[in-house]
């Protein structure tokens, strides 16, 4: 294998990754600077001609390519219009609001970023559907054929077979009757077209084409895979598998041996040149990383094992499980990096189900081709009934599997640390067996030690005793996380869609000492149900109307009095409430945090006038701006009596906040103002009588303020 090719690949990958990361961040900043959240944008309906390049049947969205070459995602298409579009020409005119705000998703570390997903998949915009007028009323081409097959499958009166085929070949996994069970077991990837399925397809057709010349056999197999790829419209993993099949065919015709790692690097470079942004996706990382494990690491592991377990490895069943476990251990670091989780039981479930569906995959693929070509013939329907019965029996068994999901979250957990140590030992021992020269052994061990140290850096970082206050970006809503020497306090939870629960897990929070709910509005309380269902909450601070909601949901939490004081070491939380029969925003809880000379105030949606009812210090180091920066949260007398060093607004574009009047008032008072719309997730760290501010977006990470 050429060392120059390896170095070129690594340099290209690193440069692209940093360039794209920087480009994405700059794009978000420019977009939000050009269109402030409090700027009302006029509706500008525009008709744009182009063609539909892909249908997402599960989400009822389309990918649209304009005549100018821009790729858009069109969302919120009514079900009736979506069905009509599937039966008409893919070329036509789509009507959208061209002034619709772009790149407005929440920005938090270690959680899914929808804007980044769109960017990585080469979309230039996401627009809400208004109308679509096709050039002709007759569907044609590959997409037209694909839509006809999808409609025929949905009309097929064989529920198990229909749901499995639509999940496998059209990405509609939610159609599975055992979807929740598969999701809990961590095996949904078996029902998403990937490199695994293309590998099975390659083996199947390579054996079906009984032609003496292996080159012709591989060529025919590659052609079938190309047709299959065009039909099902697979992602980057499918493209990788297709290009590998083509590489094998070309190598056969030029009579060159196929080096698997060399092939992978060459194809990776092609994909990076054709679709550079795709390297930012999780699917890309997992696909290529898994292939390295199967094609390169696994053979070395087998050679290492053979002297010690020769008889055991010769048993095919035992050999499969040994190899599977080896690959899964190899995948632990990338799984932790991408998903921040490691599901131990999915490890077992995959080992049990992969062989079963590996056996069924060729049969289902062959049937899919038969059904696509001859959907209404008697023999196809008869075979379908047999398969439906088998799949029904299997789904009944899966639905009653006793395995429950146990997931370790975050590398703070000692379990994850042990798993990383296991990975280190596995790779180090394999390397020591492989490398004969002392210098190579030492070098490899140093690389592994650096890898282990980098993966556990966050684990050690969590031992920091500084006071941390994080304003979580939840869009239009509130949620603040307080962490101090083992104490965890969550103030509000955003909406259910903000998914604060996922943020807490991905940032190593599995237990909440106190949950403070300011008032009963969905943008403050919407995420409570999911958090209470999955995390342990010791006590809740709220008013009686919120308590009624908590009890009606069956949440088992200790409810503290509506006003009081909590003392934890040198940290004090003082909370009180206001009542109003006319304004529900003023029917809420306020909390004051003090630690030494530092204080922070969490206001919920209380009006500025109501704030004067509370006994607050004249100098406020950190203020959560009331009511998302609305004019109702501003009161002149409060500003005259209090000096505020730093204030943070939690909002997005939904209601055109914060008010210009409020912004000007804070600026006149010398307050430094942050907002989740402009800065994303904001973390305030208090130590040594200073407050360090780190924002997820922007260039103000190094700002320091004295108490």
Mean pLDDT value across residues 602-618: 92
Is residue 168 left, alpha or beta, with left meaning phi > 0 and alpha meaning psi from -120 to 50?
alpha
Q: Given a cut of 60, is residue 286 above it in pLDDT?
A: yes
Among 635, 692, 685, 690, CA closest to 665: 635
Mean pLDDT value across residues 411-434: 52
Q: Given a cut of 70, is residue 454 above it in pLDDT?
A: no
Mean pLDDT value across residues 392-409: 66
Q: What is the pLDDT of residue 408?
A: 46
CA angle (218 as vertex; 215, 220 as ends), nearest 5:
110
Summarize pLDDT for 308-360 with one digit per residue, the tens: 555 555 555 566 666 666 666 666 666 665 555 556 666 677 777 777 777 78
Q: What is the pLDDT of residue 506?
A: 79
Cβ contact 513:491 at 8 Å: no
- DSSP H helical ranges for 254-343: 260-274, 282-292, 298-305, 310-314, 316-339
Q: Given a cut of 90, is residue 50 above it in pLDDT?
A: yes
Among 678, 667, 677, 657, CA closest to 38: 657
Q: Given a cut of 90, is residue 451 above it in pLDDT?
A: no
Question: Rounded to an integer, what distance in angstroms lies between the CA atom of residue 249 and that of residue 618?
Answer: 76
Summarize pLDDT for 218-252 with one digit per residue, the tens: 888 888 888 888 877 777 888 888 888 888 888 88
Cβ contact 201:116 at 8 Å: no
Q: What is the pLDDT of residue 411?
A: 41
Q: What is the pLDDT of residue 702?
A: 46
Q: Given a cut of 90, is residue 475 above it in pLDDT?
A: yes
Question: Rounded to an integer, what distance in angstroms lies between the CA atom of residue 684 and that of residue 693?
Answer: 5
> What's the pLDDT band for 447 if we cut at 50, 70, 90?
low
Which of 647 and 374 is assigned the larger pLDDT? 647
Summarize pLDDT for 158-210 with one digit per residue, the tens: 888 898 888 888 877 777 777 777 776 767 777 777 776 777 778 777 777 77
DSSP 563-609: SEEEEETTEEEEEEEE--SS-GGGSEEEEEEEETTEEEEE-TT--HH
Summarize pLDDT for 358-384 with one digit per residue, the tens: 778 778 888 888 898 888 889 999 999
Mean pLDDT value across residues 278-303: 72
Which of 698 and 681 is assigned the larger pLDDT? 681
Report the percentage of the chain scoring pLDDT > 90. 30
Question: Rounded to an integer, what distance in angstroms lies between the CA atom of residue 394 and that of residue 364?
Answer: 14
Q: What is the pLDDT of residue 414?
A: 45
DSSP 65-131: EETTS-EEEEE---HHHHHHHHTS-SEEEEEEETT---S-----TTS--HHHHHHHTT-SEEEE--E
Q: What is the pLDDT of residue 565?
A: 95
Q: Given a cut of 80, is residue 465 above it in pLDDT?
A: no
Q: What is the pLDDT of residue 193?
A: 73
Residue labelled with tokens 């505020």:
644
Summarize pLDDT for 489-541 with one digit per residue, the tens: 999 999 988 889 989 987 878 889 999 999 989 999 999 988 988 888 999 99
Q: Is 660 helix (H, G, I), strand (E, B) or coil?
A: helix
Mean pLDDT of the chain: 81
Other CB atoms within 10 Å distance of the CB of residue 600:
24
Summarize pLDDT for 535-589 with one digit per residue, the tens: 889 999 998 888 888 777 777 678 888 899 999 999 999 999 998 878 888 999 9
Q: What is the pLDDT of residue 443?
A: 57
Q: What is the pLDDT of residue 406?
A: 47
Question: Of 2-16, 78-92, 416-430, which one has max mean pLDDT?
Answer: 78-92
Q: What is the pLDDT of residue 409?
A: 45
> What's the pLDDT band for 402 if we cut at 50, 70, 90?
low
Strand ranges in 499-584 using DSSP code E only, listed in sequence order: 511-516, 536-541, 558-559, 564-568, 571-578
DSSP classification of residue 43: P
Report the percentage of the chain scoring pLDDT > 70. 80
Q: Given a cut of 90, is residue 487 above it in pLDDT?
A: yes
Q: Is 692 helix (H, G, I), strand (E, B) or coil?
A: strand
DSSP 428-466: HHHHHHH--SHHHHHHHHHHHHHHHHHHTHHHHHTT--S
Q: Given a cut of 70, is residue 90 above it in pLDDT?
A: yes
Q: Given a cut of 60, is residue 706 above it in pLDDT?
A: no
Among 37, 352, 54, CA closest to 190: 352
């Amino acid at each position: 294998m050429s060392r120059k090719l390896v170095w070129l690949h690594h340099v290209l990958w690193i440069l692209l990754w940093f360039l794209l990361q920087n480009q994405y961040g700059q794009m978000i900043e420019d977009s939000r600077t050009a269109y402030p959240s409090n700027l009302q944008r006029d509706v500008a309906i525009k008709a744009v001609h182009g063609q539909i390049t892909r249908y997402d049947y599960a989400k009822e969205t389309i990918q649209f390519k304009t005549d100018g070459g821009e790729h858009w995602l069109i969302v919120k298409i009514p079900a009736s219009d979506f069905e009509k579009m599937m039966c008409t020409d893919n070329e036509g005119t789509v009507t959208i609001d061209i002034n619709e705000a772009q790149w407005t998703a929440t920005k938090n570390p270690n959680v899914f970023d929808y804007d980044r997903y769109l960017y990585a998949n080469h979309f230039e915009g996401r627009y809400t559907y208004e109308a679509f007028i096709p050039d002709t009323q007759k569907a044609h081409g590959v997409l037209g054929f694909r839509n006809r097959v999808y409609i025929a499958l949905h009309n097929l009166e064989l529920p198990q077979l229909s749901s499995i085929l639509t999940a496998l070949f059209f990405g509609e996994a939610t159609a599975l009757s055992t979807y929740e069970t598969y999701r809990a077991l961590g095996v949904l990837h078996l029902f998403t077209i990937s490199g695994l399925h293309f590998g099975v397809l390659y083996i199947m057709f390579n054996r079906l084409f009984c032609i003496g010349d292996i080159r012709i056999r591989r060529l025919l197999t590659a052609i079938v895979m190309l047709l299959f790829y065009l039909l099902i419209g697979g992602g980057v993993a499918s493209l990788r598998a297709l290009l590998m099949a083509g590489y094998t065919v070309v190598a056969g015709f030029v009579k060159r041996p196929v080096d698997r790692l060399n092939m992978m690097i060459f194809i990776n470079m092609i994909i990076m040149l054709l679709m550079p942004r795709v390297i930012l996706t999780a699917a890309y990382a997992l696909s290529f990383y898994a292939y390295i494990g199967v094609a390169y690491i696994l053979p070395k592991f087998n050679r290492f094992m053979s002297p010690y377990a020769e008889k055991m490895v010769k048993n095919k069943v035992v050999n499969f499980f040994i190899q599977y476990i080896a690959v899964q251990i190899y995948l632990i670091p990338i799984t932790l990096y991408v998903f921040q989780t490691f599901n131990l039981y999915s490890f077992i479930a995959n080992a049990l189900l992969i062989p079963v569906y590996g056996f069924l995959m060729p049969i289902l693929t062959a049937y899919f081709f038969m059904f696509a070509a001859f959907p209404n013939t008697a023999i196809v329907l008869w075979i379908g009934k047999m398969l439906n019965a088998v799949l029904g029996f299997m789904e009944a068994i899966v639905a009653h599997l006793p395995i429950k999901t146990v997931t370790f979250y975050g590398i703070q957990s000692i379990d994850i640390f042990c798993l990383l140590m296991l990975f280190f030992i596995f790779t180090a021992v394999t390397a020591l067996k492989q490398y004969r020269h002392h210098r190579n052994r030492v070098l490899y061990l140093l690389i592994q030690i650096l890898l282990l140290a980098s993966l556990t850096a966050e684990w050690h970082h969590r031992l920091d005793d500084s006071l941390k206050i994080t304003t979580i970006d939840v869009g239009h809503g509130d949620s603040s996380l307080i962490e101090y020497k083992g104490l965890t306090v969550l103030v509000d939870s955003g909406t259910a869609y903000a998914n604060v629960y996922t943020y807490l897990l991905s940032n190593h929070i599995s237990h909440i000492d106190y949950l403070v709910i300011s008032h009963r509005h969905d943008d403050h309380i919407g995420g409570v149900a999911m958090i209470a269902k999955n995390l342990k909450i010791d006590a809740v601070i709220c008013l009686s109307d919120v308590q009624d909601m908590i009890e009606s949901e069956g949440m088992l939490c200790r409810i503290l009095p509506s006003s009081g004081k909590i003392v934890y070491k040198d940290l004090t939380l003082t909370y009180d409430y206001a009542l109003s029969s006319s304004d529900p925003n003023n029917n809420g809880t306020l909390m004051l945090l003090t630690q030494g000379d530092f204080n922070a105030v969490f206001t919920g949606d209380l009006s500025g006038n109501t704030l004067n009812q509370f006994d607050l210090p004249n100098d406020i180091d950190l203020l959560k701006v009331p009511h998302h920066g609305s004019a109702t949260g501003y009161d002149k007398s409060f500003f005259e009596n209090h000096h505020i060093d730093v204030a943070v607004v939690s909002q997005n574009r939904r209601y055109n906040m914060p008010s210009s009047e409020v912004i000007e008032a804070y600026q006149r008072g010398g307050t430094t103002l942050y907002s989740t719309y402009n800065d994303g997730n904001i973390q305030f760290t208090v130590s040594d009588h200073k407050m360090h501010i780190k924002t997820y977006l922007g260039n103000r990470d190094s700002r320091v303020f004295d108490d």
